[in-house]
Copies of this chain bind each other. A is one copy, B any other.
Amino acid sequence: MSATLKYQEKELKLVGTRPLRPDGVDKVTGRARFGADYNLPGQLIGKVLRSPHALARIKSIDTSAALALPGVKAVVTRDDFAEMPDEMAAVGELMINFRDVTRNMMAREKVLYDGHPLAAVAATGESVARAALALIKVEYEVLPHAIDVVEAMKPGAPLLHEHQYTQGVKPKPDRPSNVAKRLEFGHGDIAAGFRQAEVIVEREFNTKPVHQGYIEPQACLASYSADGQAELWTSTQGHFVFRAQCAKVLQMDVSKIRVTPTEIGGGFGGKNNIYNEALAIALSRKSGHPVKMVMTREEVFSSTGPTSGANVKVKLGCTRDGKITAAEAELNFQAGAFPGSSVNQASMCAFTRYDLANVRIVGHDVTVNRPKVAAYRAPGAPIAVFGVESVIDEMAKKLGIDPIEFRLRNAAKEGTQTYYGPKLGPIGYIQTLEAARAHPHYRAPLGPNQGRGVATGFWFNIGNETTCSLNLQEDGTLTLMLGTIDVAGGSRASMAMMVAEELGIEFDRVRPFVGDTASLGFNFLTAGSRGTFASGMASVIAARQVIEKLRQRVAKIREVPLEAVAWKDGHARPVDATVAQFAPMSLPEIARMAGKTGGTIAGHAEINAQGAGPGFGTHIVDVEVDKETGAVKILRYTVVQDVGKAIHPAYVEGQLQGGAVQGIGWALNEEYVYGEDGVLQNPGFLDYRIPVASDLPFIDTVIVEVPNPNHPYGVRGCGEVPIIAPMAAIANAIENAIGLRLCEQPLSPPRVLKAIDEAAAARR
């Protein structure tokens, strides 16, 4: 069903508490099985040969020497995969061009980035597989490449795809371009808005690609049967989506691939799409053996993820009393080697915290010789918001208005018309701003070279296709089979809590599992902060079906009308002593009799969850800038966010903290460094620096709960909003500390020091 369950306020016993997650003990004791922990008898090891060039035509691939090496059981190249049509195909809500997917998985005419796969081998061991890779002879015609988004957009830039003409411009361009798409959003009269403005701020920003930085590299194990059935174990954010993608590129029936998701050591959007999975199945098909493929960290960096680097221009017009009259932005996003950056979402998120009469955003999706970008937590939004919230801050300062007060004067609220479509429903943006302003952090004193910054973020959150099955077992305990991956956030606990709350029983009585693709119908990715919202809704629907059946059974057993049976505190009871009198029955009592009263009791939901509630957050950060080194230290960090309802507050806090920390890394240190030759120079955690615990203060959180009216417990989703604000908040704090507006991410010591030195030179 196309489901929305309305929010009902009620007394809660379990929702809002903090029980231990069902996967917790296994994860701390090492029993949990991640992608690389699966093995099959007789398995081979698969390895991938990757391009050493940023752009080159493939003149030939000779695998004969590799195949002749003892222990090598199969080699696949471009010749092993069918050509796919150049069109967008839907996989759930994802629109995917499988022509590009097959080419990203295995280069065809050209290699398009350092790390681009062009052959894969399966051998009896890893050393044999590596030796085989070295024996594959590839003839390249190396071509000039384009790696910077601004450079790649220029006419005459080295071209990745000869068939690519910019979409979204009229008339149709007469020559191909690296600009895959131009898009535009907006409403009102932008020129009139700027004419009304008394103050205008305009800035240009540049960000670098950053990686999702999950701890667990991609790992999978595939087994293909001689009758055309495949099994796949993989670390994924969406086993149904992986199945669909593998089926498509391997030209198999969907139901002939069974995908079992492993525990996942982080994803953050980076495990939404297949990399080695279809290669492993193809190698298994060719070799007749199971094939295991585990990426190295270097492969993860060079060939998966990252998010876009971008060039962002923002222009804002305001009246002197702090009313925004016009907001304009241009977002130029690197897509990597194939089109499909998140410039679309970034455009929609850029200004959607403000109630604006005149807005215009132009976005460009630009192919460059880098790995194809992947989603990364609120895809694209942090990039656009880095620019917008920096300009907002600068404007507030120019106007002499407190930055939170300035945002409040322009804040989006229920009824605000967005520039991309819907009117906003009940939202909690103003509440987060007010909570931030009231927080002691906002008034705490600052020392020398210290500064405070504020920024805010918005994310849509989504619902989408979701299924689950809730089975009452013969002792009255329940198993809950979920179809959305628990991407280490603890969502299994939240779903079990909602079911237990509905049934009025203890948390421990509901055992949640994530099922494989044969267990349930299609589930979309765990993405868009949809897990707890959509699977929660499905779980509640299933729980209510179970309650309905329990009441029916008791009505039958006690010989009373169904209407006389209420469900309360884990028992079927008379609705009211005047209607019927019967001894209450507990869940275990009814469960024991289920076989005899008509069979086991279950609830099932197959829904396309509607009514996701937008999320808003306000971040406050204090920094100290070391003027000698340019190092920025985070002194204090507070995340205030409206999550609708925190089912399990500890895990919501974890999301808020985790998002903020990833944003801090993005702001301060993370970046892909390419040489002149287009080769990635820092594919490892030693040279690509993500924040570690010793870099950070405890991240304080304030959970605001403005219930989403379209969820039974008011859930909005919370995983993405917290990564949006940090870059801007930190840039604003640095400006507050040292008076310099930095517009180039990362705000790393060399760059900060350079800005300080340049400012000092200018003053001299």
Which residues from chain A sit less than 8 Å from chain B, CB to CB? 1-3, 20, 22, 24-26, 29, 31, 37, 39, 41, 90-93, 223, 225-227, 229, 244, 247, 253-256, 258, 288, 464-467, 469, 471-475, 477-479, 481, 508-511, 513, 515, 517-522, 592, 594-602, 604, 606-608
27 A-B contact pairs sorted by A residue (CB < 8 Å): A2-B598, A3-B599, A25-B225, A26-B225, A29-B225, A90-B592, A229-B511, A253-B475, A253-B477, A253-B508, A253-B509, A253-B511, A254-B473, A254-B475, A255-B477, A255-B509, A255-B511, A258-B479, A466-B599, A467-B599, A471-B521, A479-B517, A511-B518, A519-B519, A521-B602, A598-B607, A599-B607
Could you tell me the distance in whole angstroms from the C-beta of A93 to the nearest C-beta in chain B? 8
- Whether the pair A604, B522 counts as a contact (CB closer than 8 A) is no
Q: 6 closest pairs, A vs B, by CB?
A: A521-B600, A255-B477, A25-B227, A471-B521, A255-B511, A599-B608
Could you tell me the distance in whole angstroms from the C-beta of A676 to the nearest C-beta in chain B? 45
- Whether the pair A2, B254 counts as a contact (CB closer than 8 A) is no
- Whether the pair A256, B477 counts as a contact (CB closer than 8 A) is yes
Query: Among B41, B467, B518, which residue has its beta carbon within 8 angstroms of that of A515?
Result: B518
- Whether the pair A1, B511 counts as a contact (CB closer than 8 A) is no
Contacts of A31 in B (CB 8 A): 223, 225-226
- Whether the pair B22, A229 counts as a contact (CB closer than 8 A) is yes
Alpha-carbon separation in the docked complex, A308 to B597 (Å):
34
- Whether the pair B226, A2 counts as a contact (CB closer than 8 A) is no
Could you tell me the distance in whole angstroms from the C-beta of A241 to the nearest C-beta in chain B? 10
Could you tell me the distance in whole angstroms from the C-beta of A188 to the nearest C-beta in chain B? 32
Contacts of A477 in B (CB 8 A): 253-256
Could you tell me the distance in whole angstroms from the C-beta of A509 to the nearest C-beta in chain B? 7
Contacts of A595 in B (CB 8 A): 90, 92-93, 464-465, 522, 608
Contacts of A596 in B (CB 8 A): 608
Could you tell me the distance in whole angstroms from the C-beta of A127 to the nearest C-beta in chain B? 21
Alpha-carbon separation in the docked complex, A606 to B553 (Å):
14
- Whether the pair A601, B606 counts as a contact (CB closer than 8 A) is yes
Q: A255-B511, A464-B595, A521-B599 are in contact. List 20 more A-B contacts (CB 8 A).
A: A1-B598, A1-B599, A2-B597, A25-B225, A25-B227, A90-B595, A91-B474, A253-B475, A256-B511, A258-B479, A465-B600, A471-B518, A473-B521, A479-B517, A481-B518, A481-B519, A513-B518, A515-B518, A518-B519, A598-B608
Could you tell me the distance in whole angstroms from the C-beta of A165 to the nearest C-beta in chain B? 28
Alpha-carbon separation in the docked complex, A91 to B596 (Å):
12
Could you tell me the distance in whole angstroms from the C-beta of A251 to the nearest C-beta in chain B? 11
Would A254 and B509 be within 8 Å (CB), given that A2-B599, A467-B599, A601-B521 are in contact?
A: no
Contacts of A518 in B (CB 8 A): 471, 479, 481, 511, 513, 515, 519
Would A37 and B29 be within 8 Å (CB), given that A20-B227, A481-B519, A604-B469 are in contact?
A: no
Could you tell me the distance in whole angstroms from the C-beta of A96 to the nearest C-beta in chain B? 13
Alpha-carbon separation in the docked complex, A227 to B28 (Å):
11
- Whether the pair B599, A474 counts as a contact (CB closer than 8 A) is no
Could you tell me the distance in whole angstroms from the C-beta of A288 to the nearest C-beta in chain B? 8
Alpha-carbon separation in the docked complex, A594 to B517 (Å):
17
- Whether the pair B522, A474 counts as a contact (CB closer than 8 A) is yes
Could you tell me the distance in whole angstroms from the C-beta of A3 to the nearest C-beta in chain B? 7
Nearest residue, chain B, Cβ from A2: B598
Alpha-carbon separation in the docked complex, A607 to B223 (Å):
34
Nearest residue, chain B, Cβ from A513: B518
- Whether the pair B599, A472 counts as a contact (CB closer than 8 A) is no
Contacts of A227 in B (CB 8 A): 20, 22, 24-26
Could you tell me the distance in whole angstroms from the C-beta of A580 to the nearest C-beta in chain B? 23
Contacts of A510 in B (CB 8 A): 255
Q: Which of A1, A227, A513 has the most CB of B within 10 A?
A: A227
Contacts of A594 in B (CB 8 A): 522
Could you tell me the distance in whole angstroms from the C-beta of A168 to the nearest C-beta in chain B? 24
- Whether the pair A465, B599 counts as a contact (CB closer than 8 A) is yes
Could you tell me the distance in whole angstroms from the C-beta of A715 to the nearest C-beta in chain B? 18
Could you tell me the distance in whole angstroms from the C-beta of A286 to the nearest C-beta in chain B? 15
- Whether the pair A522, B25 counts as a contact (CB closer than 8 A) is no
Contacts of A469 in B (CB 8 A): 469, 519-520, 604
Would A29 and B604 be within 8 Å (CB), given that A92-B595, A517-B479, A599-B3 are in contact?
A: no
Contacts of A472 in B (CB 8 A): 521
Would A604 and B607 be within 8 Å (CB), given that A39-B39, A522-B474 are in contact?
A: no
Could you tell me the distance in whole angstroms from the C-beta of A526 to the nearest C-beta in chain B? 16
Alpha-carbon separation in the docked complex, A599 to B41 (Å):
38
Q: Which of A253, A594, A599, A604 has the most CB of B within 10 A?
A: A599
- Whether the pair B601, A478 counts as a contact (CB closer than 8 A) is no
Could you tell me the distance in whole angstroms from the C-beta of A394 to the nearest C-beta in chain B? 44
Alpha-carbon separation in the docked complex, A472 to B254 (Å):
10
Contacts of A481 in B (CB 8 A): 518-519
Alpha-carbon separation in the docked complex, A639 to B3 (Å):
55
Could you tell me the distance in whole angstroms from the C-beta of A265 to the nearest C-beta in chain B? 16
Could you tell me the distance in whole angstroms from the C-beta of A91 to the nearest C-beta in chain B? 8
Could you tell me the distance in whole angstroms from the C-beta of A27 to the nearest C-beta in chain B? 10
Contacts of A37 in B (CB 8 A): 41
Contacts of A229 in B (CB 8 A): 22, 26, 511
Could you tell me the distance in whole angstroms from the C-beta of A291 to the nearest C-beta in chain B? 13
Contacts of A522 in B (CB 8 A): 471, 473-474, 594-595, 600
Nearest residue, chain B, Cβ from A514: B518
- Whether the pair B467, A600 counts as a contact (CB closer than 8 A) is yes
